[in-house]
Structure formats: structure tokens, C-alpha cells
Amino acid sequence: MAGIEIRVIDRRLGESFDPPKPHDLVVGPNSDLDLLFADIFDQSHGTLIENLILMSHALYQPDAGGQHHFGFGIELGKQNITLVNAAGFFSRLAHRFASNLRGIELRGCGVAAYSRVVGAAGVVAVGDGLSLCQAIANAAQTGVLASPKAQSGECKVTPTAGMRRSGATITPTADTEVGRCTLGSWTGQVWNFLPNGPANGSGHVVYRR
């Protein structure tokens, strides 16, 4: 049975999808994910979800040299999606998908990456994107597509100009404003995490090499 496609974009990445579709949803840094998942559930009332796409930045940790490492979660709404809360959110969508083989796409940089990062103070942080993706698949009972690589989402960026005051000094500033985003092709390898797999994500299969 075919279902609907629901796409979610976070405003920190882009204002909307281009072109728009009927079931597009937009969240921002103050959006409550409890309300978002309730909205997703309501939109699938009377039908099933063919594909749920989350397009956003990923959470990362810098190492001592300033290089970014992914696998720490998804920057979405005010709570973000992490290994701590993923099952709680996505379990609300269990059995709402048309297929258990593929139903969710996590379109963020390195969402499926595994990183062990030594910070400037010698503190070690572990980003386990494999376990995160598997937790989502197990909770939602559908396959989850994600990549360990950075993604090149095509979002329009508009230069903006303004002024900054510091005491009596006023200086011109240059900034950018995000616009609409095109859901392009994946970059790099993509993995499919099937439901009921090992919690550490080791059971994922290659979707695209």
C-alpha cells in the first residue's frame, strides 16, 4: 500500500523545501519535538507514511585541532534527536509506515558516523551514529537511510548587510540568510538500518556505495 511523503526541514538549514510539497513541515530552534511528532502522526491519519525525510544539520564535536566529527545526533527543534531520546520520539510512529524495509531518510551530515573525539582538554567524547540510526529503526519499525559522510544539500544563501555598534563605533557587517533547499542526491555511502537489528547498528546493509 502506497502512502504519503512527509518532509521536515529545520530553519537553521533552510526556510523551506524547493519545490514545496503538501506534507512539508518546518521547525526551528524553539520548536517542540513532541508537537512535531504529533503532527507527523496526525498527517498520516487514514493512510500510511511512504517516506519520512528529516533534513537538518547534524550535531558534532570538534577535536583539539578544531576538526568537526559527526555521529552525535541531529539538530532538530529545541530538543534535538540523540541516542537518549530517539526511541521515545520515533516509537510514536511505529506501524505508521507503508514498508518495514525503508521508510525514513536522515538527510544530515554524518548522521550514521561513529566518532571518538579527544577535545582540547583531553576529554574523550563518543558519537555513536550507528546506534542512533538503529534505535530509530527499531522504534519506528521501518528501515532508516543515513550516511556516515557529509552531505551537500543545495540551499539558497542570500548575502545580507547590516551595521554593528560597539560603543561609539559603528561598523558595516556582512552576513548570510538561508533560503529554500532542494532535496538533491545523497553524497557518499548510504546505509540502511533495518528494524529489529543489533542495538549497535552492526547489522546495517549498504544501500548505496
Distance CA 119, CA 69 (A): 11
Q: Please, are residues 165 and 202 in contact by the beta-carbon 8 Å criterion?
A: no
pLDDT for the residue numbered 179: 81
pLDDT for the residue numbered 172: 55
What is the tens place of the pLDDT at every residue in 51-94?
999 999 999 999 888 899 999 999 999 999 999 999 999 999 99
- Helix residue ranges per DSSP H, the chain: 33-43, 86-90, 129-140
Model confidence, pTM: 0.88
What region, left, alpha or beta, does residue 122 occupy, with left being phi > 0 and alpha being psi -120 to 50 degrees? left
pLDDT for the residue numbered 167: 46
Q: What average pLDDT does this structure show over 104-111? A: 97
Domain boundaries, the chain: 4-153+182-208
Pairing relationship of beta strands 104-107 and 114-118 according to DSSP bridges: unpaired
Mean pLDDT of the chain: 90
Q: Please, are residues 125 and 61 in contact by the beta-carbon 8 Å criterion?
A: yes
- pLDDT at residue 42 is higher than 90: yes
